[in-house]
Chains A and B, each alone.
Chain A
Amino acid sequence: MTARPSREFSADLVRQLRADARRMDLPAEPDLVARVLAALPRDGSAPQVATPTEPPRRSLRWVLPGVGLAAGLGAALLFRPAPAPPAAEPPTIQTAATPAPPWSVPAMDLPALVLSPMDQELADVAADLRGTLAVVANALPGPTIEVP
């Protein structure tokens, strides 16, 4: 006979496992049964207590910090400082003068209005560059260069 395929071998293995399980001795354990029966409650009532899948009970190590936290919060609420009485008059804040709105600027000051601070800075930088360029250019040998 040739060797059987492994799938059939597995089926035989499972069959043999089941057969061997049936052959395994399961002693009646009379002493243990008596011990268990003696340990059962004898009040005669139907079992009505929680299922064995009850959630784990909270241990004291979690309850105590919780109680402490609650007590702390309560004390903080009880002894919190009294709110300060409202000031008679709110302090006034001095702010810088706001620029005049465009419609209030006289027509003669229009260029100043158009030239924004950024433009002013750029103009200053350009003037600096111009001066620097003139110094550098005139330091070189040769004819004098006019920088506009």
Chain B
Amino acid sequence: MASRARTPAADGEPGDEVLAARAQNGDRAAFETLVRRFTPRLMRFLLSRAANRADAEDAVQQTFLQAYRGLAGFDVRRRLAPWLLAIAARELARLARRRPPSAVALDGVAVASDPPADPGPVGLWVAARARLNPETCAALWLRYGEDLAPGEIAAILGRSSVWVRVTLWRALRALRSDLADVPAARAALVGERP
């Protein structure tokens, strides 16, 4: 993957941190470019954790508002993506705290009021979403979908770096054992011929 974490510019566009530095100096267009660039990525991350799409969208909006207000304090020598993703995770958690408890029917069965949030995982991510809990799946996505380091993932998820490493190891082991049970999947994955 051309590293998503430091979005550079394959086609000559300035990198994230360059745009952030310009935005710090009052270049609103640079910040708008960052909004366009990061909105899909933030949505992808938040949709895997949010209860519904509306929450994810609200969290994205709050993330950029917070980022705009706090951009003066951002160190442009660091990477922008983990910073934005950390804000996004915090905003989603804040929205979840404000949300009233989900509707519960009289017989105690939760009423599904919203459609599932994330429409489209692909390939192994389908299995990961089905097999792993949301936080583990988020850690896996940040590691292999966003190419973030375990320390950066730990800061985003509010966990320790050791927790991230162990969780990733367990997630891979779980996926591996699931796939090993399906010879065709394993063959397709490692290129074996039956």
Contacts and interface: CB of A to CB of B under 8 A. Distances in A.
Nearest to A3: B192
B43 A46 contact: no
B122 A8 contact: no
Interface in A1-41: 1, 3-4, 6, 8-10, 12-14, 16-29, 32-33, 35-37, 39-41
A108 B65 CA distance: 103
B41 interface: yes
A3 B60 CA distance: 45
Nearest to B44: A26
Interface residues of B, number: 54
Nearest to A4: B190
Interface of A: 1, 3-4, 6, 8-10, 12-14, 16-29, 32-33, 35-37, 39-41, 44-54
Nearest to A12: B190
A44 B27 CA distance: 9
A50 B123 contact: no
Given A13-B189, A46-B25, 15 more contacts: A17-B124, A17-B125, A20-B122, A21-B145, A26-B41, A29-B40, A32-B60, A32-B61, A39-B61, A40-B28, A40-B65, A44-B26, A46-B72, A52-B73, A52-B87
A56 to B, nearest CB: 11
Given A13-B172, A17-B125, A51-B70, A33 B35 contact: yes
